[in-house]
Amino acid sequence: MFKISQDNFKFSLKRTVSPGWKMSRMRPANFPHRRIAFLASLLFGGFKLMSRIIDATSVDNVRALFNIELAGYWARHYSFNSLLDEPKATALGRNSVDILVINVVVPLLYAYAMNVDSRERADHAINMLHELKAESNSIVAMFASSGIECTDAFTSQALIQLRRQYCETRKCLYCRIGHRMLSKRAKNKDCMQ
């Protein structure tokens, strides 16, 4: 009879001592333990999240889907054996929920709309981006320092795409913004000489 030892697993996987989570410089509310507990709470009662997202009529309805309170053990713990003084009411803050809406919900809604050929649903997904405020990240800050105004999530996503398509690939001359900035710089150098 074939025996499997403790160290030999299927597909030559090795047993890990720890999951390898690095939690330094991370806020306790964002620890992986709580995120997994949040996901379990989100999926509790069935995998109906996609249908709930599709049926949501506004950004506030979508935010309500992710406004989950952790119950039981994780309401009073950040990780194993670390008791909180007061229970933490919600698993995610508003900013985290908005980032989920921008980066998960809207792309899912748009992809679904394209799959079922529904222009109305696609417009609804895009309108959600217009309703949300812009993300606060280094890319948006870089464009803002260059004088490009970013007022909503739609614009911030566009700026992130511009950065990936043109700035990171060094195709500045093909981008209107990059071309304008380079021509300004060249004119300023000519004026100084």
d(CA 64, CA 84): 25
121 in Cβ contact with 112 (< 8 Å) = yes
d(CA 109, CA 170): 32
Q: What is the pLDDT of residue 193?
A: 57
d(CA 177, CA 161): 13
d(CA 107, CA 15): 36
pLDDT digit string (tens) for 72-124? 888 777 777 777 767 666 677 888 889 999 999 999 999 999 999 999 999 99
Task: Report in angstroms the alpha-carbon separations of 62 from 7, 52, 185.
Answer: 45, 8, 44
pLDDT digit string (tens) for 147-191? 888 899 999 999 999 889 888 888 877 888 777 777 777 676 655
Q: Which of 6-10, 45-49, 132-136 has the lowest mean pLDDT?
A: 6-10
Give the DSSP letter string of 8-44: --GGG----SS-----TT--GGG-HHHHHHHHHHHHT
64 in Cβ contact with 58 (< 8 Å) = no
What is the phi-psi region of residue 189: left when phi exceeds 0, alpha when psi lies from -120 to 50, beta otherwise? alpha
Q: What is the pLDDT of residue 123?
A: 93
d(CA 166, CA 177): 10
Neighbours of 151 (CB within 10 A): 10
Q: What is the pLDDT of residue 107?
A: 94
Residue 4 has pLDDT above 70, yes or no: no
pTM over the 0.85 mark: no
Residue 41 has pLDDT above 60, yes or no: yes
pLDDT digit string (tens) for 9-33? 677 777 777 777 777 787 777 788 8
If one compares 12 and 192, the residue with the highest pLDDT of the two is: 12
Confidence of residue 39 (pLDDT cuts 50, 70, 90): confident
Which residue type is seen at 107? P
Residue 65 has pLDDT above 80, yes or no: yes
